[in-house]
Amino acid sequence: MASAPSMEQIEKVLDQFRDPETGRSVRQQGQVHNVQLEGDRLRLTLALTTHSRLLWEDMRRELEQLLRKEVPGLQQVEIQLAEHHRPPIRQGQVGVPAKSVIAVGSGKGGVGKSTVAAALATGLARAGSKVGLLDADVYGPSIPHLLGVNQRPAVEENRIQPILADGLKVMSMGFLVPRGEAVVWRGPMLHGALMQFLRDTQWEELDYLIIDMPPGTGDVALSLSQLLPLTGAVVVCTPQDVALIDAEKAIAMFRKVNIPLLGMVENMSYFICPECNTRHELFGHGGAQARAQELGVPFLGEVPLNVGIRIRGDSGQLAQCWEDPQLAEVFQRLCYRLVQEVAARVRQGPEPPLPQLTVL
């Protein structure tokens, strides 16, 4: 006859189960509450942070499966989810209060990089994470237009107050320079502006800071690598070979400045005719996924060439894409895979030491 489950067996499993944000034991970090073992029935509460909000259900299922596997005799496992608050640590010499800083770049302009950056930021925020969006494309800031915001940010106690839009905290050179006026700066001025946006903006606590990079392989990536530790980069491209060649250069640039690659996104991947519902691959298809595999970069997914994205972006209502079930599913999948990749990089490594930095 099998022995009854014991609390010791359960605690051993909980000691091994790692938080997707930090990679450390959920039990040792005080993220497990109300553990009740009654015969062969187990109840507990697993508290996770908003940084991993998109993975909460995955983590519930993973822990339940692990408990059933490692603790013989358990017949019923009930896991409630709750929110665990963990403030971010200020990152880099500019002290950005973000848990993950993710750059979205491309090897060339015109591939929809800013649209993808704004969609990722919006999707993460809609899922329940705390998100900031920094438009670092100083020469061609398009985030204000995509989100439909154009007011000048206020300054309070020498801190720039980010503009709030669609659940995001947004900062862009587009808020400071009149529309149509060109920014003509050399590298040192770019570096200074980027430092000011990162250091002097009142971001408050963020799970993610998404940075919309300028196209190409210029000074901004180098400045970012010097100013703060980036979690990684996402590279956006279209399916044609000419775009993939430039995307490879962007990947090489990020690797040269030691910024990890979190994934590639193929934009304008296909077109679904609204009249006949036929799929057309106008620029080819699958090139980004194949190239990502060749280069050892995760592939996050495809975004269609869709009239709704263009109309909503041009009208400053990109967030309304989430009202279209098909587009919402596309963007949700991108966000989910991105968070999965961030968590996988943390959890696959050795358990990191507890940070010694000052917490906000």
Burial class (CB in 10 A: 0-12, 13-18, 19+), 64: middle
Judge contact between 207 and 49, C-beta under 8 A: yes
pTM, two decimals, is: 0.90
Same fold, 7-83 and 98-348: no
Output the CATH code of domain 7-83. 3.30.300.130
9: left (phi over 0), alpha (psi -120 to 50) or beta: alpha
As a whole number, mean pLDDT of residues 288-309 equals 88
Judge contact between 267 and 303, C-beta under 8 A: yes
Residue 150 clears pLDDT 70, i.e. is over it: yes
| CB hemisphere CA count around 157 (13 angstroms) | 1
**Phi (first) and psi of residue 73, to 5 degrees:** 95, -10
Query: Which of 127, 179, 169, 131 lies closest to 147 in space, CA to CA?
Result: 169
**Averaging pLDDT over each range in 219-223, 324-328, 331-335, which range is the top one?**
331-335
Output the CATH code of domain 98-348. 3.40.50.300
- Of residues 102 and 270, more confidence is placed in 102
For 33-46, write each residue's pLDDT tens digit.
999 999 999 999 99
Residue 188 clears pLDDT 70, i.e. is over it: no
- Of residues 277 and 95, more confidence is placed in 95
**Alpha carbon distance 67, 26 (integer Å):** 14
Sequence-ordered alpha helix ranges (H) in the chain: 7-16, 56-70, 113-127, 143-147, 187-200, 219-227, 241-256, 287-295, 307-314, 325-348
Q: Which residues pair with 165 in a beta bridge?
A: 168
Per-residue tokens: 358? 């000052």
Residue 110 clears pLDDT 50, i.e. is over it: yes
- Of residues 14 and 348, more confidence is placed in 14
Per-residue tokens: 199? 């250091």
Sorted by where each begins, the domain ranges of the chain are 7-83, 98-348
| pLDDT on residue 53 | 97
